[in-house]
Amino acid sequence: MTARVWITTITALLPALTVGGVARAAAPDTDPLPLYVTSISEQLDSRVAQTLAQLDGSGRQLLALRSYLRSASHLAGRWSWTQEQIEAFEGSPEQRDLQQEIDRVRTAFVAANPGFELYVNSQVRSLDVQVEHWNKNESVKAAAEEILAAAQALILSPGFPANRPEQAREALKAFLSGYRPVPTPTIAAPGLSLHGQMRAIDFQVHQGGRVVAGPSTATIATDWAAAGWAAKLDTAVRAASDKFVGPQASPPAPWHYTYAPEAVARDQAATADNP
């Protein structure tokens, strides 16, 4: 649904919104968005507010907050591991099982494509790294500009209850929960990446130390589709292992597969969400 349609819809619903618990309204002539973002984040897992504070600009914060709201029911279970959890995973039976599945795919791929190999970064993607990526990613930047403009238009619309902060917060929450970003960010909001629990694997095709097909949306049409590496990788994955689901369809990422061993597959089915 477009931003304009959502603004119209939310504006029509404003009179029915109930009063909640924001302590104060934003002062006149100040940007109210930071106050609204803080108020909404305080209703979620405490890690949300801590992470939002590290994101550059209101647009990126709103875009991430949208994902957190949409994932609220399973946020705790999906949140990226702490350093202690990452260290506990290293050398564990779970890590060995994952490495075994990766090696099976590599073996099948090399057998079918002599002279080429698969590279996998087997490190857990920490929350700090996810924040860094979010602040630098071009698709996030473009989508953040769009959601910021749409949110500002909502706040400036005639029916927006700017002098009733509780209702204003609920109106913005409803808007964010239903908003569809354009363009679709190519990475998940910090804390929600499946790489943060080593439940996602990005395969790269290498030849003699040279990247032939890497994890870049700019090369999907040429390196992955036209050159056939997407199909060749998928063939190897399906032939070698039943523990990977993919490739990711939206946004397209032919190198990205979800790792879903039996115990995790049930959880994936119950909590699957495209932030």
Residue boundaries of the structural domains of the chain: 3-70+138-178, 80-125+193-271
The whole-number pLDDT of residue 29 equals 59
What confidence tens digit (pLDDT) does each residue in 87-102 have? 999 999 999 999 999 9
What confidence tens digit (pLDDT) does each residue in 228-239 have? 999 999 999 999
- Strands 200-207 and 210-213, sheet pairing: antiparallel
Q: How confident is the model at residue 268 (pLDDT cuts 50, 70, 90)?
A: low
Indicate yes or no: pTM above 0.85.
Answer: no
Burial 152-191 (b: 16+ CB within 10 A, else e): bebbeeeebbeebbbbbbbbbbbbbeebebeeebbbbbbb
Q: What is the mean pLDDT of residues 18-44?
A: 70
Instruction: Report the alpha-carbon distance of residue 263 to residue 259 in Å, rounded.
Output: 11
Is residue 63 within 8 Å of 135, Cβ to Cβ?
no
Task: List the helix and strand counts (H, then E) for the chain.
Answer: 12, 5
Q: What is the mean pLDDT of residues 103-113?
A: 98
- What percentage of residues in the chain have a pLDDT greater than 70? 84
Q: How confident is the model at residue 189 (pLDDT cuts 50, 70, 90)?
A: very high
**Long-range contacts made by residues 238-245, C-beta under 8 angstroms, separation at least 24?**
239/108, 240/101, 240/104, 240/105, 240/107, 240/108, 240/109, 241/101, 241/104, 241/105, 243/101, 244/101, 244/105, 244/201
Instruction: Report the alpha-carbon distance of residue 137 to residue 146 in Å, rounded.
Output: 15
Tokens linked to 104: 């099976």
